[in-house]
Amino acid sequence: MNKRLLLAGLALALGAGVTHTALAQVKPDTLVKQRQAAMTLQGKYFGPLAGMAQGKIPYNADTVAMNAALLDALSRMPWDGFVPASKDATMKTAALPAVWSEPDKFKAAQDNFQKAVQALVSVSRGGDEAAQKAAIGGVGKACGGCHQDFREKQ
Amino acid sequence: MNKRLLLAGLALALGAGVTHTALAQVKPDTLVKQRQAAMTLQGKYFGPLAGMAQGKIPYNADTVAMNAALLDALSRMPWDGFVPASKDATMKTAALPAVWSEPDKFKAAQDNFQKAVQALVSVSRGGDEAAQKAAIGGVGKACGGCHQDFREKQ
């Protein structure tokens, strides 16, 4: 109960939409490493949900709720790493030139993903398996939509 | 308001303490990559808070609240990557042998860190700068305490 109240308050902070890192001091390679880390963890927690939606692994309501909550946080993390300073990175990145040449479209793809995650979050505690699987599909589609245009083919 | 309610519900899921990834299917290198990604992002969001507590960057209550919320999620992520299967990883890891030879002590250090993050979360929306800086110090101490024994010196 205590934890529930705390997170309820924190949700207000999460909605602020402000950059809360000190980007000016961050090295280009660190920017890339951090945004890739966020993508790696999105994969960690989305993977099992995609497996459930595709019928490859058994549906588990607790896992849907937990992973949706973690994706809620993770879905906010990569974007401030896609700043011009990161173009000076020496490490390998799969970001396509379109990230820089089509910023409005890239931002729209980010927003689309975050909305899809929020839609999943909103049904993740309801126990409605069909609605959850549909929302998981929506997140997968949003991931793919952004990767299609802005990430090098893997 | 809607978002606040949703996250309040999700907090219940976050408290479940169950492993919500399909570890059996995950490659050793992926386990290491994922746990390192969680540490990388803990650094991204804790760094500015440490800077505030040390007086190196200006105190910002919104950043404390936001980053504490994100650390709440991130503090739960690395630990299920420290499974025996990860010892077969070919990629470089800074995990010391003590991770495997002193599992109880390692688990205690994880718990200590998570408690310190929860203590920060609990004061992060209160606007009490001194209490927040003290809690930030507690998290930094918990990070260092675990690194001291379980991570190779950087």
Predicted confidence at residue A19, as pLDDT, reads 54
User: Mean pLDDT throughout B7-15?
Assistant: 43
* Distance in angstroms (rounded) separating the CA atoms of residues B32 and B146: 17
Q: What is the pLDDT, as a whole number, of residue B25?
A: 74
* A19-78 per-position pLDDT tens digit: 556 555 789 999 999 999 999 999 999 999 999 999 999 999 999 999 999 999 999 999
Chain A CA closest to residue B33 = A40
CB–CB of B7 and A10 under 8 A?
Answer: yes
Please report the pLDDT score of residue B18 as a whole number. Answer: 47
Residue B127 pLDDT class (50, 70, 90 cuts)? confident
Q: Which residue on chain A is closest to B58 by alpha carbon?
A: A22
- Scanning every residue of chain B, which has its alpha carbon at the shortest distance from the alpha carbon of A69? B10
Region A92-109: what's the mean pLDDT? 97
**Range from A129-133, B48-52, B54-58, B126-130 carrying the lowest mean pLDDT:** B126-130
Q: Is the confidence at residue A9, as pLDDT, over 70?
A: no
Shortest CA distance from A66: residue in chain B: B13
Task: Determine the 3-state secondary structure of B95 from DSSP.
Answer: strand
Pairwise pLDDT comparison (B154 vs A133), residue with the higher score: A133
What percent of chain A stands above pLDDT 90?
A: 81
Interface test with chain A among B1, B12, B26, B36, by most A beta carbons within 10 Å: B12
Q: Is A65 in contact with B11 (Cβ distance < 8 A)?
A: no
Q: Is the pLDDT of residue B2 over 50?
A: no
Q: Tell me the whole-structure pTM to 2 decimals.
A: 0.88
φ, ψ of residue B95 in degrees (nearest 5): -65, 125
Inter-chain touch B4–A16, beta carbons under 8 Å: no
Rounded to an integer, what is the distance from CA A142 to the centroid of its chain?
10
- H helix or E strand, kind and range, residue A70: helix A61-74
- At B12 the pLDDT is 41
The residue with tokens 């994969």 is A43
A47–B33 C-beta distance less than 8 A = no
Nearest chain A residue to B17 by CA distance is: A66
N- to C-terminal Cα separation, chain B: 44
Give residue A154's pLDDT.
83
Is B63–A20 a contact, with Cβ atoms under 8 angstroms apart? yes
Look at residue A23 in the predicted model and tell me its pLDDT. Answer: 52
Nearest to A20 among B66, B72, B122 (CB): B66
Name which residue leads in pLDDT, A127 or B8.
Answer: A127
Q: Are A73 and B74 in contact (CB under 8 A)?
A: yes
CA nearest A127: which of B60, B33, B52, B12?
B12
State the pLDDT at residue B154: 83
Is B3's CB within 8 Å of A18's CB?
Answer: no
Q: What is the mean pLDDT of chain A?
A: 88
- Region for residue B55 given its phi and psi (left: phi exceeds 0; alpha: psi -120 to 50; beta: otherwise): left
User: Could you tell me how many CB contacts below 8 A there are between chain A and chain B?
Assistant: 170
Q: Which residues in chain B touch residue A118, judged by CB atoms under 8 angstroms apart?
A: 3, 6
Sort out which chain B residues have CB atoms less than 8 A from A3's CB and list them.
11, 14-15, 118
Contact list in B for residue A9 (CB cut-off 8 A) is: 125
Q: Give the residue-averaged pLDDT of B24-29.
A: 85
Subunit contact A11:B15, Cβ cutoff 8 A: no
Interface pTM (ipTM) of the complex?
Answer: 0.87
Q: How do residues B59-118 score in pLDDT, each as one tens digit?
A: 999 999 999 999 999 999 999 999 999 999 999 999 999 999 999 999 999 999 999 999
